[in-house]
Amino acid sequence: MIRYLSAAWLARLPAADVAAGPTGSPSDGVTIRHVVRGAPDGEAVYDVRVVGGTARVQRAGTQRAELTVFSDYGTAAAIASGRLSPQEALAAGAVKLRGELAGAGAAVAGTAWTDPLPAALRSVTEVPR
Q: Could you tell me the CATH number of the domain that includes residue 22?
A: 3.30.1050
As for how many domains the chain has, the answer is 1
Question: Does residue 123 sit within a domain?
Answer: no
Question: Does residue 127 sit within a domain?
Answer: no
- Enter the pTM of the model: 0.85
Q: What is the pLDDT of residues 75-118, one digit of tens each?
A: 999 988 889 988 899 999 999 999 987 767 665 565 555 556 77
How far, in Å, are 12, 21, 28, 34 from residue 75 at the CA level? 22, 34, 30, 12
Question: Does residue 49 sit within a domain?
Answer: yes
**What's residue 91's pLDDT?**
93
Q: Please check the confidence at residue 72 and state whether its pLDDT lies above 90.
A: yes
Question: What percent of the chain clears pLDDT 70, i.e. is strictly above it?
Answer: 81
Question: Does residue 100 sit within a domain?
Answer: yes
Question: Does residue 93 sit within a domain?
Answer: yes
Out of 32-41, 58-67, 89-98, 111-120, least confident range: 111-120
Domain that holds residue 40: 2-116
**What's residue 105's pLDDT?**
67
**What's the CA dihedral at 80, 111, 116, 38 to 10 degrees?**
-40
